């Protein structure tokens, strides 16, 4: 399944989303709630000081890391290996999956527990492990719910099951997991907890993502609210962490900044409930922690962005602050993007990782209001990158032919004053047959789509240039 969500064309997915009134309302409510909490924890929290300074610090750390990515990746992997861990660099999803399948086979693993991770979702790891007889159990509550409903996928980077309500969750668990209780969240959670307890005890392998790899010590840092990462990393003897190749910080001081930015931006928390830091300890006779620890570092198309205008898209720390303010996401929800990365960052990342053929429409699913850029804690110029994607889309010939012709005409019109003069003079006469009571309700040609839902203004009768000329004459 990997990164792609759904097979339907973009506008069919949008229609599905708009028809789902529960989901639509839920997204809007969630945005309003998350936005308020975020502001309280960032601009409104005196304890943290000037939020803009934190954003600048975050941007600087991410830029420095990405500009020296090879150095820090080497430092991370050396430190990880020095303590007995195994590092594998995977260029593609297939390579990553093949390596992890191999580990599972060697361990003869039947069950794996997993703490939520976007990158394992991106590479389609669950399916790959199922192919070698190892079942992956999602342990983040939201992911557990999605896994119960076969084929359901995350609709939000931080709150993956945002599209489902309590009674839908109850029905899913009843049908798929033998649940018999009510739709009270406490009761649903208690059920999931009891189910997961056995799962944790019987896991052969623990799989996690990696919020940040700390280069100076070779540590995998995980940010969760449920503590499930601790369970995943402390029970099984074998642990596999999968990270996107950009997800690292040089030092623990940098980690401190990033965790502050992440938890405050994502859900308006001053600090997340758990920050789980795991470093290989092979031979150190630790009582908990994995005896065999693998770190799989995935490129998956990321390196295509290095050295380009999109490099800063790799600064993303997956907080979803941009998603939480995006007016487009607000109305269509996550699944309409057709990618596990939704919202503005999804519209920027998906074409980089998955190409324009598959995700070229996403950069157009934005009104370029720049709310995303304003919200990003590490200052990725998201709306500018959306425009840049559109330029490439056009330059590489993907754009609609009639649009291309219209824009060529626009370019000529907008650089030829005599033509514009004729157009402004002629507009009222040309528009006259379509004008009723001062506006156009059923416009011709390119106006047609506009007037499907809105009135189009009738061109003003008075010629402004002429008026201005006469007005100025009156002055002298």
Q: Contact with other proteins (CB under 8 A): which of 214, 223, 332, 376?
A: 332
Task: Decide: 62 and 378 in contact? Cβ < 8 Å.
Answer: yes
Phi-psi region of 236 (alpha: psi -120 to 50; beta: other; left: phi over 0): beta
- Interface with other proteins includes 449 (CB under 8 A)? yes
Among 25, 135, 182, 408, binds other proteins (CB under 8 A): 408
Should residue 460 be labelled a site residue for other proteins when binding is judged by CB under 8 A? Answer: yes
- 459 binds other proteins per the rule CB under 8 A: yes
Please, which residue, 274 or 393, has the CB nearer to other proteins?
A: 393
Among 183, 393, 434, 435, binds other proteins (CB under 8 A): 393
d(CA 200, CA 115): 11
Pick one of 8, 107, 291, 331: the residue that binds other proteins (CB under 8 A). Answer: 331
Min CB(7)–other proteins separation in Å: 20
Considering the rule CB under 8 A, would residue 390 count as an interface residue with other proteins? Answer: yes
Among 190, 201, 284, 414, binds other proteins (CB under 8 A): 414
When the beta carbons of 191 and 456 are compared against other proteins, the nearer one is 456
Kindly state the smallest distance separating residue 438's Cβ from other proteins, in Å: 9
- Find the binding residues for other proteins in span 21-50 (CB under 8 A): 24, 28, 32
CA distance to 118, 144, 200, 253, per residue, from 115 (Å): 10, 10, 11, 25
Q: How far is CA 127 from CA 192, 245, 297, in A?
A: 22, 22, 19
**Near other proteins by CB under 8 A: residue from 328, 340, 345, 348:** 328
Residue 464 found at the interface with other proteins (CB under 8 A): yes
Task: Report if residue 265 touches other proteins, rule: CB under 8 A.
Answer: no
Find the helix packing angle between 343-354 and 382-395, rounded to 10°. Answer: 40
Alpha-carbon distance 47 to 270, whole Å?
A: 10
Instruction: Pick between residue 13 and residue 114 the one whose CB is nearest to other proteins.
Output: 13
Does residue number 311 form part of the binding site for other proteins (CB under 8 A)? no
Q: What is the nearest approach in angstroms of other proteins to the Cβ of residue 440?
A: 9
Shortest CB 175 distance to other proteins, Å: 32
Mark the segment that binds other proteins (CB under 8 A) among 160-168, 284-292, 295-303, 439-447. Answer: 439-447
- For the bound state, the minimum distance from the C-beta of residue 169 to other proteins, rounded and expressed in Å, comes to 26
Reduced DSSP (H G I as helix, E B as strand, rest coil) percent helix, strand, coil of the chain, to 5: 55, 10, 35
**88 phi and psi, to 5 degrees?**
-130, 125
CB closer to other proteins, 103 vs 326 = 326
Q: Where are the alpha helices (DSSP H) in 68-150?
A: 69-82, 93-106, 118-123, 125-131, 141-148
Best CA proximity match to 162, nearest among 343, 383, 13: 343
- Pick from 9, 11, 33, 185: which binds other proteins (CB under 8 A)? 11
Q: Could you say which residues in the range 344-383 bind other proteins, by CB under 8 A?
A: 364-371, 373-374
Q: Considering the complex, what minimum distance in angstroms separates the CB of residue 370 from other proteins? A: 4
Please give the Cα distance from 449 to 442 (Å, whole number).
9
Q: Would you say the C-alpha torsion 317, 377, 154, 333 has a positive or negative sign? A: negative
Closest approach, Cβ 463 to other proteins, in A, equals 8
- CB nearer other proteins, residue 277 or residue 424: 424
Q: Measured in whole angstroms, how far is the alpha carbon of residue 144 from the centre of its chain?
A: 20
- Cα dihedral 150, 153, 158, 159 sign: negative
Which of these ranges, 79-87, 179-187, 195-203, 447-455, lies near other proteins under the rule CB under 8 A?
447-455
* Alpha carbon distance 121, 239 (integer Å): 17
Which member of 2, 57, 392, 435 binds other proteins (CB under 8 A)?
A: 392
Residues in the chain: 476
3-state secondary structure 360-428: CCHHHCCCCCCHHHHHCCCCCCHHHHHHHHHHHHHHCCCCCHHHHHHHHHHHHHCCCHHHHHHHHHHHH
Q: Does 430 bind other proteins (CB under 8 A)?
A: no
165 versus 463: smaller Cβ distance to other proteins = 463
* Least distance (Å) between residue 37 CB and other proteins: 15
Pairing type for strands 439-440 and 205-208 reads unpaired
6 binds other proteins (CB under 8 A): no
CB 235 → other proteins: shortest distance, Å?
45
Q: Which helix (H) or strand (E) holds 242?
A: strand 238-244
**Angle at the Cα of 254 (from 250 to 259), degrees rounded to 5?**
125
Contact 262, 377 (CB under 8 A): yes
Closest distance of CB 267 from other proteins, Å: 19
The C-alpha atoms of residue 5 and residue 416 are separated, in whole angstroms, by: 46
Q: Is 14 near other proteins (CB under 8 A)?
A: yes
- List of residues contacting other proteins (CB under 8 A): 11, 14-15, 18, 24, 28, 32, 325, 327-328, 330-332, 364-371, 373-374, 387, 389-395, 399, 403-404, 407-408, 410-417, 420, 424, 427, 439, 441, 446, 449-450, 452-460, 462, 464-465, 467-468, 471-472
């Amino acid at each position: 399944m990997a990164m792609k969500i759904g097979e339907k064309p973009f506008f069919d997915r949008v229609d599905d989303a708009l028809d789902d009134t529960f989901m639509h309302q839920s997204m809007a409510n969630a945005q309003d709630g998350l936005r308020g909490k975020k502001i309280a924890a960032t601009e409104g929290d005196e304890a943290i000081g000037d939020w803009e300074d934190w954003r600048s610090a975050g941007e600087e750390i991410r830029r420095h890391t990405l500009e020296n990515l090879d150095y820090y990746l080497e430092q991370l992997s050396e430190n990880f290996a020095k303590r007995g861990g195994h590092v594998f660099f995977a260029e593609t999803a297939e390579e990553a999956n093949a390596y992890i399948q191999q580990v599972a086979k060697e361990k003869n693993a039947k069950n794996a527990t997993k703490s939520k991770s976007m990158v394992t979702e991106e590479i389609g790891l669950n399916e790959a492990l199922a192919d070698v007889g190892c079942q992956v159990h999602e342990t983040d509550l939201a992911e557990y719910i999605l896994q119960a409903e076969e084929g359901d996928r995350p609709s939000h980077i931080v709150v993956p099951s945002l599209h489902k309500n309590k009674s839908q969750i109850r029905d899913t668990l009843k049908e798929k997991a033998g649940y018999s209780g009510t739709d009270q969240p406490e009761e649903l959670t208690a059920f999931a907890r009891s189910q997961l307890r056995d799962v944790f005890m019987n896991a052969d392998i623990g799989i996690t993502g990696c919020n940040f790899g700390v280069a100076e010590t070779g540590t995998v840092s995980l940010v969760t609210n449920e503590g499930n990462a601790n369970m995943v990393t402390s029970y099984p003897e074998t642990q596999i962490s999968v990270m996107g190749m950009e997800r690292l910080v040089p030092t623990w001081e940098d980690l401190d900044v990033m965790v502050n930015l992440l938890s405050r931006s994502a859900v308006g928390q001053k600090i997340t409930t758990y920050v789980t830091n795991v470093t290989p300890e092979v031979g150190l006779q630790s009582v908990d922690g994995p005896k065999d620890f693998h770190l799989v570092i995935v490129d998956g198309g990321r390196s295509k962005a290095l050295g380009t205008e999109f490099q800063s898209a790799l600064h993303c720390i997956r907080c979803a602050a941009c998603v939480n303010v995006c007016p487009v996401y607000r109305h269509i929800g996550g699944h309409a993007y057709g990618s596990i990365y939704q919202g503005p960052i999804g519209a920027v990342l998906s074409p980089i990782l998955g190409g324009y053929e598959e995700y070229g429409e996403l950069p157009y699913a934005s009104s370029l209001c720049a709310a995303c850029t304003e919200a990003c804690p590490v200052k990725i110029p998201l709306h500018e990158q959306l425009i840049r994607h559109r330029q490439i889309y056009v330059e590489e010939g993907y754009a609609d032919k009639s649009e291309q012709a219209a824009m060529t005409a626009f370019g000529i019109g907008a650089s030829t004053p005599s033509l514009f003069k004729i157009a402004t003079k002629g507009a009222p006469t040309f528009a006259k047959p379509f004008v009723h009571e001062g506006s156009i309700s059923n416009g011709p040609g390119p106006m047609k789509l506009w007037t499907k839902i809105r009135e189009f203004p009738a061109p003003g009768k008075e010629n402004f240039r002429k008026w201005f000329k006469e007005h100025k004459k009156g002055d002298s």
